[in-house]
Chains A and B, each alone.
Chain A
Amino acid sequence: MVLGRAFEDMCAQMYYRGKMFGFVHLYNGQEAVSTGFIKLLKKEDYVVSTYRDHVHALSKGVPARAVMSELFGKTTGCCRGQGGSMHMFSKEHNLLGGFAFIGEGIPVATGAAFTSKYKREVLKEGDSEDVTLAFFGDGTCNNGQFFECLNLAALWKLPIVFVVENNLWAIGMSHLRATSDPEIWKKGPAFGMPGVHVDGMDVLKVREVAKAAIGRARRGEGPTLVECETYRFRGHSLADPDELRDPAEKAHYAARDPIISLKKYIIEKSLASEAELKVIEKKIDEVVEDAVEFANESPLPPRSQLLENVFADPKGFGIGPDGRYRCEDPKFTEGTAHV
């Protein structure tokens, strides 16, 4: 959680210094949800996220260096600088993105869950199911794709957990103004799956609920819809002046900061001393500083990278005027051919 917070704060700094650009959506305040769920997963389990995906990537194990380089647009980033803030993918860590359109990731997540069930039942590989977690927000719960996937996941008993990060606001649109029935967890039972509501600012409570939901999916009992009531401390993105949200509401949730709450709990229960926690925070600061340095020093993508990865088979670029496949022309791979 501390890594997530420190990383996101550093992102804001770097953005205002011009190292990062475009759309950047920060996760401050919602760390309990990411940590509470993703830390219970195996490496083979899948996570599908939205554009607010930096911390999901970090929780799933993508190195901070790779994420920071990606944000700076350098070739050492997790997507070689080609994806950016909103499109974090990692095959190694089974992070399937990073989608800009809300609701777009949910069918992808449902497909990943389908694959893991198929692998076990039809291809007979492995003996327990890989679970998929789909993260999305309150605004997505009014979108058609969400309902279509709830239906299919329950129908086919797919090993997926739908995690709603209800932070009560789309950009400037309050959840209450956009939704006929604002209690999202109720939409689960309508499709035949359990719907659970949990306080998303308390990482231990989230973890309890996550354990139950992930366990259910892994045993093949089907999907769960978990609504985490949480809050984002910053605006929707770094371009959002965040004027519409009531300061009293912001203060209310700032008092329930998940990191501060957990710190208090740890110290009260004498699980660690304050000095030990400070050591952890210092280490995290070093990790984030190192990530920034690494990203700063990394090279920009070379010109030849512009045309790479468009297709898995680059013959898809077709045949050039000289009668050969364009990708076989040495100028094409050097990046100096005309496109």
Chain B
Amino acid sequence: MMVREALNSALDEEMSADPKVLLMGEEVGEYQGAYKISKGLLEKYGPERVLDTPITEAGFTGIGVGAAFYGLKPIVEFMTFNFSMQAIDHIINSAAKTSYMSAGQISVPIVFRGPNGAAAGVGAQHSQCYASWYASCPGLKVLAPYSSEDARGLLKAAIRDPDPVVFLENELLYGESFPVSAEVLDSSFCLPIGKAKIEREGKDVTITAFSKMVGYALKAAEILAKDGISAEIINLRSIRPLDRPAINASVRKTNRLVTVEEGFPQHGVGAEICASIIEDSFGYLDAPVERITGADVPMPYAANLERMALPQVDDIVRAARRACYRSVPMAAAQSY
């Protein structure tokens, strides 16, 4: 099942189960979705529930949050999460903080979804990964699916969740197909928010990743296996709340950690994972935690520069090898 179909079927089933669920965004209706995720929904549910909006992110996000205050369950689609910056005031201040400020009287059952991260050659303003930005904000839940199973289960969980959820998809994953079991296809299938998945078991090094990078990490694990390094790949699925127990348990087994993400390095998801592992499992680490992130530059346009600015499978392999072959060095003897 393609990720695109998984998302479409999840939206379809949740909309038919609950008449309070509605979808709004740019080109979601007649155009069938900018990336065809909402294909067929306008025909099935009509223009009151599938709303084509003008290009007014701040406006329609604010309207969605207001609707959620009064009991509707809107799904706000951003054409990419880069555009959500025009509406970020409503996501953070109106949606995330309201339950706290009203002492629990008003909950905001809203989902913000859309593609996140880099696509191919789309330039600096269309390629940023927002996982760490949104994951740093209390009051928000942040999810990042990888496979079709993740996409279906996590989107359904997000729509049913009574809190604001930021759902970070990936444009390059939309066309990828994954095998799914009959359980996944059932309309009541739902994945728990806050639990990571061990995609591949291993015993030498733990590699955490989310979204597209899980695919790269799995490829890296194949290459490492030929060297006799058995890598355990954790698909985070949920960036906020982060599944710290799962990562800790894995690190206590393997004693080495590599975090992989597409976003900018400073204050990234990897930084958070590294800090929390050191807090919880410092004595178990045999090597410093390695971070593989995107380069610390706005995304360049030229194809070769773009490749250099994003993590590639080789980078993950290199970091995993470094984590495995080096023991804890004395500071003066450290070399890169």
Binding site for B on A (CB under 8 A): 21-23, 70, 73-75, 79, 81-87, 99-103, 139-140, 142-144, 170-173, 177-179, 244, 300-301, 303, 305-307, 310, 317, 321, 338-339
Contact call A21/B120, Cβ cutoff below 8 A: yes
Q: Which of chain A's residues have a CB closer than 8 A to the CB of B303?
A: 21, 73, 300
Q: With both chains docked as a complex, state the minimum distance between the C-beta of A184 and any C-beta of chain B, in angstroms.
A: 13
Residue of A nearest to B294 (CB): A339
Q: Which of chain A's residues have a CB closer than 8 A to the CB of B297?
A: 306-307, 310, 339
Q: Does B178 contact A (CB under 8 A)?
A: no
Contact call A82/B34, Cβ cutoff below 8 A: no
Q: Does B215 contact A (CB under 8 A)?
A: no
Q: With both chains docked as a complex, state the minimum distance between the C-beta of B60 and any C-beta of chain A, in angstroms.
A: 10
Q: Does B52 contact A (CB under 8 A)?
A: yes
Contact call B59/A139, Cβ cutoff below 8 A: no
Contact call A303/B31, Cβ cutoff below 8 A: no
17 new A-B pairs (CB below 8 Å) besides A70-B301, A101-B82? A21-B121, A23-B121, A74-B302, A75-B302, A81-B300, A84-B123, A87-B123, A87-B124, A140-B55, A142-B55, A170-B54, A172-B30, A173-B31, A300-B303, A306-B300, A307-B297, A310-B298
Residue of A nearest to B301 (CB): A84
Q: With both chains docked as a complex, state the minimum distance between the C-beta of A23 and any C-beta of chain B, in angstroms.
A: 5
Residue of A nearest to B31 (CB): A172
Docked complex: B254-285 residues within 8 A CB-CB of A: 265
Of B98-106, B236-244, B304-312, the stretch lying at the interface with chain A is B304-312
Q: Does B328 contact A (CB under 8 A)?
A: no
Q: Does B336 contact A (CB under 8 A)?
A: yes
**B23-36 interface code vs A (CB 8 A; 1 in, 0 out):** 00011001100100
Contact call A339/B123, Cβ cutoff below 8 A: no
Contact call B56/A244, Cβ cutoff below 8 A: no
Q: Can you report 10 A-B residue pairs in the complex whose CB atoms are below 8 A from each other?
A: A73-B304, A81-B300, A86-B123, A103-B55, A142-B54, A173-B30, A173-B54, A306-B309, A307-B295, A339-B265
Q: Which of chain A's residues have a CB closer than 8 A to the CB of B56?
A: 142-144
Binding site for A on B (CB under 8 A): 26-27, 30-31, 34, 52-56, 58-59, 82-83, 86, 119-126, 265, 295-298, 300-305, 308-309, 334, 336
Contact of A301 among B122, B298, B300 (CB under 8 A): B300
Contact call A101/B83, Cβ cutoff below 8 A: yes
Contact call B27/A301, Cβ cutoff below 8 A: no
Given contacts A22-B120, A73-B121, A100-B126, contact A172 B304 (CB under 8 A): no
Q: With both chains docked as a complex, state the minimum distance between the C-beta of B18 and any C-beta of chain A, in angstroms.
A: 27
Residue of A nearest to B47 (CB): A177
Contact call A101/B86, Cβ cutoff below 8 A: yes
Residue of A nearest to B303 (CB): A73
Q: Which of chain A's residues have a CB closer than 8 A to the CB of B119?
A: 22
Q: Which of chain A's residues have a CB closer than 8 A to the CB of B34?
A: 171
Q: Which of chain B's residues have a CB closer than 8 A to the CB of A73?
A: 121, 301-305
Q: Which of chain B's residues have a CB closer than 8 A to the CB of A171?
A: 26-27, 31, 34
Given contacts A144-B58, A339-B265, contact A82 B300 (CB under 8 A): yes
Q: Which of chain A's residues have a CB closer than 8 A to the CB of B58?
A: 144
Contact call A22/B27, Cβ cutoff below 8 A: no
Contact call B125/A306, Cβ cutoff below 8 A: no
Residue of A nearest to B53 (CB): A178
Q: How far is the CA of A103 from the CA of B82 in the complex (A)?
A: 14
Given contacts A87-B125, A339-B265, A339-B295, contact A179 B54 (CB under 8 A): yes
Contact call A170/B26, Cβ cutoff below 8 A: yes
Q: Which of chain B's residues have a CB closer than 8 A to the CB of A99?
A: 125
Q: Which of chain B's residues have a CB closer than 8 A to the CB of A172?
A: 27, 30-31
Secondary structure class of chain B's binding surface, majority of residues: loop
Residue of B nearest to A240 (CB): B31
Residue of A nearest to B119 (CB): A22
Q: Which of chain B's residues have a CB closer than 8 A to the CB of A142?
A: 54-56, 59
Q: Which of chain B's residues have a CB closer than 8 A to the CB of A303?
A: 308
Contact call A23/B126, Cβ cutoff below 8 A: yes
User: Ordered nearest first, which 8 A-B pairs have the shortest CB separation?
Assistant: A22-B121, A84-B301, A172-B31, A73-B302, A21-B121, A81-B302, A142-B54, A178-B54
Q: Which of chain A's residues have a CB closer than 8 A to the CB of B53?
A: 178
Contact of A306 among B52, B55, B126, B308 (CB under 8 A): B308
Q: With both chains docked as a complex, state the minimum distance between the C-beta of B177 and any C-beta of chain A, in angstroms.
A: 21
Q: How far is the CA of A144 from the CA of B58 in the complex (A)?
A: 8
Q: How far is the CA of A85 from the CA of B125 in the complex (A)?
A: 12
Q: Which of chain B's residues have a CB closer than 8 A to the CB of A101?
A: 82-83, 86, 125
Q: How far is the CA of A101 from the CA of B305 in the complex (A)?
A: 23
Contact call A301/B59, Cβ cutoff below 8 A: no
Given contacts A144-B56, A173-B52, contact A300 B125 (CB under 8 A): no
Q: How far is the CA of A139 from the CA of B301 in the complex (A)?
A: 26
Q: Which of chain B's residues have a CB closer than 8 A to the CB of A102?
A: 55
Contact of B123 among A83, A140, A177 (CB under 8 A): A83
Residue of B nearest to A326 (CB): B296
Contact call A81/B308, Cβ cutoff below 8 A: no
Q: Which of chain A's residues have a CB closer than 8 A to the CB of B52?
A: 173, 177-178
Q: How far is the CA of A85 from the CA of B297 in the complex (A)?
A: 19
Q: Which of chain A's residues have a CB closer than 8 A to the CB of B125?
A: 86-87, 99-101
Q: With both chains docked as a complex, state the minimum distance between the C-beta of B63 and any C-beta of chain A, in angstroms.
A: 13
- Name, among B53, B126, B302, B309, the residue most crowded by chain A CB atoms within 10 Å (CB to CB): B302
Q: How far is the CA of A232 from the CA of B74 in the complex (A)?
A: 34
Q: Which of chain B's residues have a CB closer than 8 A to the CB of A301?
A: 300, 302, 304-305
Q: With both chains docked as a complex, state the minimum distance between the C-beta of A323 and any C-beta of chain B, in angstroms.
A: 12
Q: How far is the CA of A244 from the CA of B30 in the complex (A)?
A: 8
Q: Which of chain A's residues have a CB closer than 8 A to the CB of B30?
A: 172-173, 244
Q: Which of chain A's residues have a CB closer than 8 A to the CB of B308?
A: 303, 306
Q: How far is the CA of A142 from the CA of B58 in the complex (A)?
A: 11
Contact of A144 among B59, B124, B304 (CB under 8 A): B59
Q: With both chains docked as a complex, state the minimum distance between the C-beta of B332 and any C-beta of chain A, in angstroms.
A: 11
Q: Which of chain B's residues have a CB closer than 8 A to the CB of A170?
A: 26-27, 54-55
- Name, among A74, A84, A144, the residue most crowded by chain B CB atoms within 10 Å (CB to CB): A84
Q: How far is the CA of A84 from the CA of B306 in the complex (A)?
A: 12
Q: Which of chain B's residues have a CB closer than 8 A to the CB of A173?
A: 26-27, 30-31, 52, 54
Q: With both chains docked as a complex, state the minimum distance between the C-beta of A73 and any C-beta of chain B, in angstroms.
A: 3
